[in-house]
Amino acid sequence: MKTQFQQMMDGLNEVEAFLAGEQEGFKAHVPQAVDVKAIRSRLGMTQARFSATFGFSLDAIKHWEGGRRTPEAPARTLLTVIDKNPGAVLTALNPAAFAAAVSSSKAATVRVRVERKRQASRGVTRRKVYPTGKRVTE
C-alpha cells in the first residue's frame, strides 16, 4: 500500500505528464462519502428547498441524511461541487433560481402569533403560542 506522500507524488507526476503533453485527460476523484446534511445546513436550506433548488428528489435527501442510502457517484460529484461553490451550480442550473436563493438567504426576524388546533384522544385542544415562547392550553 502506498503512503500518502507517494500518492501525492504520483498525482503530481500525472499533472506534469499532462502539462508536457505526454498524457491526455485526467481522472476525476469522486469522494466515497458526502455529508449531505452538513452541506444543506451550511446553506441554511430545508430538505424540501435543497431538493427543489438542486434537482434532487425529497425522498433521496431524506434517505441520504438518514443513512438508509448513499448517493451514487454522479450525485456525490454534484454534491461536492455544491459544497465548494453553490453559486456556480445555481447559475448553471437556473440563473433566476440563483437570484431567488440569494435574496431569500438573508436572515429575517418574524414575529407571529399562531393558534393551532390539535386533535387529542379526548377531543380538540387549542394551543396559543406567543412570541415569548409561552404556551397556553385551553
Q: What is the model's pLDDT at position 17?
A: 85
CA dihedral 14, 4, 76, 35 (to 10 degrees): -160
Specify the amino acid at residue 60.
Answer: A
For residue 1, how many C-alpha atoms fall within 13 Å in the half-sphere facing its CB? 2
Global confidence as pTM: 0.54
**C-alpha span between 87 and 95 (Å, rounded):** 9
State the cell numbers at 70: 448513499
Q: What is the model's pLDDT at position 112?
A: 36
Q: What is the model's pLDDT at position 107?
A: 44
Q: What is the model's pLDDT at position 15?
A: 83
Count of other CB atoms within 10 angstroms of residue 37: 15
User: What is the per-residue pLDDT across 6-62, written as a single tens digit (0 to 9) for each?
Assistant: 888 888 888 888 888 887 766 778 888 999 999 999 999 999 999 998 999 999 999
User: What is the per-residue pLDDT across 59-114, written as a single tens digit (0 to 9) for each?
Assistant: 999 999 999 999 999 999 999 999 999 888 888 887 775 666 666 554 434 343 44
Q: What is the model's pLDDT at position 100?
A: 65
Among 3-7, 74-78, 122-126, which stretch is predicted with the lowest mean pLDDT?
122-126
Angle at 94 between CA 89 and CA 95, to 5 degrees: 95
